[in-house]
Amino acid sequence: MSATARDPRRPPAWDVLIIGAGVIGLATAWRVASRGLSVTVVDPDPAGGACRVAAGMLTPVSELAYGEEPLLRLGIASRDRYASFVAELEEAAGHETGYRRDGLLQVAFDSDDLAFLDDLRRFQESLGVPVEALTGRECRRLEPMLAPSVRGGLLAPEDGSVDPRRLTGALLVACQNAGVRLVERRADALIVERDTATGVRLDDGAELRAGKVLLAAGAWSNDLKGLPDGVVPEVRPVKGQVVRLRARAPFLGRATRGLVRGSSIYLVPRADGEIVVGATQEEMGFDTTVTAGGLWQLLRDARELLPGVTELEFAEVSAGLRPGSPDNAPVLGASALPGLFLATGHFRNGVLLAPVTADAMAEMLVDGTVPEVAAPFTPDRFEPFEVEARA
């Protein structure tokens, strides 16, 4: 913890300092700056973390899991905000984001997979979210390249996708146009004075002061020195390997998930022919090695669902680190340390939750109120909150 003394008459240089220029940090910076506050964002590799690898599925209904009803509500709120969010962003940045809302098709490879989807549909319907059950033939009518063996599926018509690389590219421009300062350095330590977070020390020793500090560093959220114990819940990296292919002719009309003998796979098409195939889910610490096994698993399952996938051009393979909180839900709001706010732990949903997170954090940082949709996700759900300096 820094004990650097500061002249109390000197105002902080910035209203808000954000650690992390991923999709969450950038979207929040843009929203906060649009509300008239001065914002600086610190990141050695802006837009270079998990959002560079992410496929960009906006699929809260299709990715619903038991016990995650509050997350479903947050995800739907964010998905439903996407159209206006990207319209405003594209206008502010002069860049398009690849946003589309053409539904998500989820298909089953064998009868066990189909039984799982039937169960999921009942659960979705019990929560009042619309999905359409389809036979194998109806799935193939929607997506003619699907294998004849596909047994059936579900269509979530309101789900969609966005291109996270274009999205963060647009956010960088919109931030710049809104006066956000970007500092391409690593935040090394939090500065805490009189039990209040007042800034960060960078890896070159420079110090930046702000009225409020927002930690949005994804899987690296526990790396900052000077964080008092218990203030930031443990955020673990969960590796995802992703393959990018390229189609020269129409191949897939909409984002498609598949269950192949119990193993999940998704393919997300872009207007320019890119097809993103994802993703593995591996608890391997900070390892981003692309492995032969990961690549094989993705291509094997993709080929089972869409045999023509082997004809596509190979473009890229990469691995990213999702930030998983202890309950796999995001952590949004004021921490137990005055001056320090958290927007982290978005796990599989960083891109999906960017609009709702940015708006919620802007409300918390600017107005000091917690919007109802974010209330289940505040940091105080994790106990205990002992604020003690780390050695």
Q: Which residues bind ligand GLY (CB under 6 A)?
A: 57, 240, 278-279, 322, 348
Which among 381, 10, 348 has a CA at the least distance from the CA of 210? 10
**Smallest distance from the beta carbon of 187 to ligand GLY, in angstroms?**
25
Q: Whose Cβ is closer to ligand GLY: residue 207's or residue 282's?
A: 282
**Smallest distance from the beta carbon of 118 to ligand GLY, in angstroms?**
23
Please state, in angstroms and rounded to a whole number, the distance separating the CA atoms of residues 50 and 242.
11
**Smallest distance from the beta carbon of 278 to ligand GLY, in angstroms?**
5
**Smallest distance from the beta carbon of 180 to ligand GLY, in angstroms?**
27
Nearest residue (beta carbon) to ligand GLY = 348
Which among 344, 51, 337, 363 has a CA at the least distance from the CA of 197? 337
Q: Whose Cβ is closer to ligand GLY: residue 79's or residue 151's?
A: 79
Q: Whose Cβ is closer to ligand GLY: residue 42's or residue 58's?
A: 58
**Smallest distance from the beta carbon of 80 to ligand GLY, in angstroms?**
18
Residue type, 227: L
**Smallest distance from the beta carbon of 268 to ligand GLY, in angstroms?**
9
Please state, in angstroms and rounded to a whole number, the distance separating the CA atoms of residues 61 and 156.
7
Sign of CA dihedral 27, 30, 36, 41: positive
Q: Is 273:248 a contact under the CB 8 Å cutoff?
A: yes
Please state, in angstroms and rounded to a whole number, the distance separating the CA atoms of residues 182 and 199.
15
Q: Whose Cβ is closer to ligand GLY: residue 113's or residue 159's?
A: 159
Q: Is 270:98 a contact under the CB 8 Å cutoff?
A: yes
Beta bridge partners of 135: 152
User: Which CA distances in Å does 89 have to 151, 174, 312?
Assistant: 40, 7, 32
Sign of CA dihedral 9, 14, 15, 16: negative
Angle at which helices 69-93 and 354-362 pack, to 10 degrees? 80
**Smallest distance from the beta carbon of 24 to ligand GLY, in angstroms?**
14
Q: Whose Cβ is closer to ligand GLY: residue 33's or residue 57's?
A: 57
Q: Whose Cβ is closer to ligand GLY: residue 209's or residue 322's?
A: 322
Q: Whose Cβ is closer to ligand GLY: residue 54's or residue 189's?
A: 54
> 171 Cβ partners below 8 Å, 6+ apart?
23, 26, 27, 29, 30, 47, 89, 93
